[in-house]
Structure 1
Amino acid sequence: MTENIVCKKTDLEPGEMKAVDLGKQNILICRTLDGEFYAFLNQCTHQGAPLDKGMICGATTGESQPGDYHYCRKGEIIRCPWHGREFDIKDEGRMLANPNKKLPSYKVRVENEDVIVYK
């Protein structure tokens, strides 16, 4: 397993994401609102959209009604820019609509100010 410094902690504020090249792969680095870092292949499992062009957001709860939406998990969901597929950052990139599908993920470690991804 190879470790690669992909950015500095200060490069991403909580709730932000950015794409970085790691060899021939484009990786999405996400920082959740609690300050934790996660890394995924920067490609939607549906049709390959670049997820860094989407957004980090929340999800609606089961209590939501048409026109009256209740949100939860703010800053923990990646939404695909093309078709709105949603992936749970904190649950290994699992798709909300189909938990059997998930984004390829990478181990992340923060050491001093460096964010390190293992490939």
Structure 2
Amino acid sequence: MEQIVCKTSDVQPGEMMKSSFGKQNLLVCRTPDGEFYAFLNQCIHQGAPLDKGMMCGATTDSSQPGDYQYSHEGEIIRCPWHGREFDIKNEGRMLANPSKKIPSFKVRVEEENVIVYK
């Protein structure tokens, strides 16, 4: 099964939008480098709609206490209810527990169409 879920112009780099894939609620993300990704629009923790959250970056510890580095800008989905964070470019894996991830879908772009398929 495959389906056009949006146009490339519907989602600017660093943004996300809600769509649907068959009967499933879908989250389409476009990272700052222009790549498209698609996930089930539901947090694996308690089912929050991820499109109500935000795309952001992540902090990483440095060698100095209290000194943090910010990275992966626009590559992290943050859940609106409890702040769970998922790595868009790493199959939607949870940052705090990479063994867990939000279900993802394959995406391809043809002309101006963003197509999701299994």
TM-score for the superposition, normalised by structure 1: 0.94
Paired residue for 2:15? Answer: 16
Question: Residues 61 and 68 of structure 2 are in contact (CA less than 8 Å); yes or no, is this contact kept in structure 1?
Answer: no
State the distance in 1 between where 2:30 and 2:103 align: 17
Runs of 4+ aligned residues of structure 1 deviating over 4 Å after TM superposition are: none
TM-score for the superposition, normalised by structure 2: 0.95
Q: Deviations over 1:23-45 (max 9, x none)?
A: 22100000000000000000000
Distance 1:33 1:4, change over 3 A: same
* 1:62 shift after superposition: 1.6
State the distance in 2 between where 1:8 and 1:21 align: 13
State the distance in 1 between where 2:11 and 2:65 align: 34
Paired residue for 1:109? Answer: 108
| Residue identity matched to 1:39 | A
State the distance in 2 between where 1:85 and 1:43 align: 12
| Residue identity matched to 2:78 | R
State the distance in 2 between where 1:69 and 1:77 align: 17
* 1:70 shift after superposition: 2.3
Q: Deviations over 1:34-87 (max 9, x none)?
A: 000000000000000000000000000122754x54210101000000000000
| Residue identity matched to 2:102 | L
RMSD: 1.2
Distance 1:3 1:59, change over 3 A: same
